[in-house]
Amino acid sequence: MKEKILTLAALLLMGAGQFSYAQKDKYTALKNIKAHVDFGETIRTMDFTQHSFGIGGVNPMPMPQKVVEGVGKLKPNMIRIFIQEFFFIEKENRTLDFSALDKYMRAVNATGADVMASICIKSPSLYPKVDETIWRPTDVKRWQYIIGEMVKRYSVDNKYVTHWGVGNEINIGEWGGCPYLIKDVKDYFEYYKMTVAPILKAYPGAKVGGPSWAGTGEDGYRFFDEFIGLCKKEKIQLDFVSYNIYSANPESHIRGALRFKSSVDKHDSKIEIYITELNVDLGGVAIEERAYIPKRAAGLGAILHEYYKRAPFLKTFQYHIYDQFCDPNQFKPFFARHRYMANHWNDEPHRLGLFDMDGRPRPQYFMYSMLYAMAKNEVPAKVDDYDNVRILASHDDRYVTLFLTNYHPETTDNITLSLYFKNAQQGTARMTVYRIDDNMNWDNDHFKLIPTETRMVYVHDDFWFSLFVPEDSVVMVVLDYDEKLVSLCRNFQI
């Protein structure tokens, strides 16, 4: 009898242990969401290279070699820069010295990207008084000579710059980091007209535009409407208009994009629209640890997903490529709020960069590497009844690629996601899963993500599988059908 009691006790303990394990299995307890991908239809060619990066406006130092290398691996089409007065092109004797800007331009060019350059200079002989409200130079011919020489150097002699922007955040002036405050649309039109004339004379093939408006309020829509109207009336070339937005809410981004598009389309639907500074909110405590929280990458990924689906006309520049320090003394000769600039970019930096100052990649760098690595043929994909998870799917002759974000501006949940395929290519494939989350699974030295899962699978008629998708994370799944993958080698790299 004693032995039976002991045996029963042992069985109960074993059962309790198994029950305890199930209770502690945090993954099984999570909400499960279903998603579906149908490879029987191709929607369009998927290409995210129109969404790129910006740099500059803070100091004149060229990009470090490690940053150049990292950006070069992504192969962006274009990089947007500021030509700020701290390059000091015009010297006291009125000679022009491009040596500092030359070094800066060469570093950007080394990434392989074309350049959009926003003109934000105030040459000292033409703007002797430090005042953001003064936009007209004392000598227009001299201004046009300087602009013409600059364009000749960087668009003709050196084929770096293809797009020239006039000004930046002219509606908020120095609060936006540049020395012009031009609130009257007629004044900006005059400034634009006198600036694009020498650009197009020096380089007739240039694309020109502006004004990199700060925000997406009603005043911006009205400004665009009237400005484009003036350009059309006087037959002044305008190839693109531009604005800047910092918001963690994807819907705010879409509302602004569609509203600006309506202002443009009233006049000419061929005018391109650029977001010259794109990011999520600027707020939060300025410490290094926050720069590696994956929520920024997830937010940007969700925003780019919405742009791709609902505003495909947009081209964007994530601001900015790498963190920079600010010396207020470099701003002091032309900028009244020079101490303000140091506070924002030096003392309490926003840490918006894809890289830190030493070239270490941040989560959002790898988010872009995922989007740039997507296969070209987009196919339908949808998530059942859970708006926080967004999915893109594509394929080609060799790869199937899936891009997922689990994001909400306020809060979302850790989930498991079950993906169900339909009409997929049948056969053996190697599945590789990459995830941007708190674990920071990447190789800083080689700018590569480290897989969180790899396995061989057979893709059949009703193939399905499940993933862990944490809150505020980005996930990429790659299926590689290469016949040589009988070994465990992984040939797909992002």
Question: Residue 24: its pLDDT value, please?
Answer: 61
Question: Residue 485: its pLDDT value, please?
Answer: 60
Q: What is d(CA 327, CA 83) in angstroms, rounded to the nearest whole number?
A: 17
Closest Cα to residue 401, out of 409, 391, 411? Answer: 391
pLDDT tens, residue by residue, 466-493? 999 999 999 999 999 987 664 444 455 6
Q: Which of 22-36, 144-158, 309-323, 413-427 has the lowest mean pLDDT?
A: 22-36
- Using DSSP's 3-state secondary structure scheme, residue 115 falls into strand
For tokens 């994909």, the residue is 381
- Using DSSP's 3-state secondary structure scheme, residue 66 falls into helix
Q: Work out the mean pLDDT of the chain and round it to a whole number.
A: 93
Question: Residue 344: its pLDDT value, please?
Answer: 87
Residue 50: pLDDT above 90? Answer: yes
CB 193 within 8 A of CB 234: yes
Rounded average pLDDT over 393-415: 97
Question: Residue 283: its pLDDT value, please?
Answer: 75
Domain 27-45+376-480 belongs to what topology? Immunoglobulin-like (2.60.40)
Rounded average pLDDT over 203-230: 97
DSSP 199-234: HHHH-TT-EEEEEEEES--HHHHHHHHHHHHHHHHH
Q: What is d(CA 366, CA 447) in angstroms, rounded to the nearest whole number?
A: 8
Q: What is d(CA 124, CA 88) in angstroms, rounded to the nearest whole number?
A: 9
Question: Residue 266: its pLDDT value, please?
Answer: 96
Q: What's phi and psi for 66, nearest 5 deg?
A: -65, -35
Question: Residue 2: its pLDDT value, please?
Answer: 47
Instruction: Decide if 27-45+376-480 and 51-371 have a common fold.
Output: no
Token couple for 221? 């829509």
CATH code for the part of the protein at 51-371: 3.20.20.80
DSSP 266-298: TT-TTSEEEEEEEES---S---GGGGG-THHHH
Cβ contacts of 484-489, under 8 Å, gap ≥ 24: 485/428, 485/429, 485/430, 485/456, 488/454
CB 419 within 8 A of CB 467: yes
Q: Which H/E stretch holds residue 129?
A: none
Question: Residue 25: its pLDDT value, please?
Answer: 81
Q: What confidence tier does 11 reach under pLDDT thresholds 50, 70, 90? A: very low
Question: Residue 494: its pLDDT value, please?
Answer: 67
Residue 6: pLDDT above 50? Answer: no
Rounded average pLDDT over 221-248: 97
Query: Across-strand partners of 119?
Result: 83, 166
pLDDT tens, residue by residue, 339-391? 999 998 999 888 999 999 999 999 999 999 999 999 999 999 999 999 999 99
pLDDT tens, residue by residue, 115-130? 999 999 999 999 999 9
Rounded average pLDDT over 196-224: 97
Query: Across-strand partners of 428?
Result: 458
Angle, vertex CA 255, rays to CA 254 and CA 257, nearest 5 = 60
Residue 23: pLDDT above 60? Answer: no
Token couple for 463? 């193939």
pLDDT tens, residue by residue, 57-116? 999 999 999 999 999 999 999 999 999 999 999 999 999 999 999 999 999 999 999 999
Residue 5: pLDDT above 50? Answer: no
Question: Residue 285: its pLDDT value, please?
Answer: 81
Rounded average pLDDT over 164-192: 97
Residue 138: pLDDT above 50? Answer: yes
Q: What confidence tier does 21 reach under pLDDT thresholds 50, 70, 90? A: low
**DSSP assignment letter at 457:** E
Q: Which residues of 366-380 are buried (b: 16+ CB within 10 A; e: fewer)?
A: bbbbbbbbbbebbbe
Question: Residue 302: its pLDDT value, please?
Answer: 98
Hey, where are the domains in the chain?
Answer: 27-45+376-480, 51-371
Q: What confidence tier does 196 reach under pLDDT thresholds 50, 70, 90? A: very high
Q: What is d(CA 280, CA 372) in angstroms, rounded to the nearest whole number?
A: 20
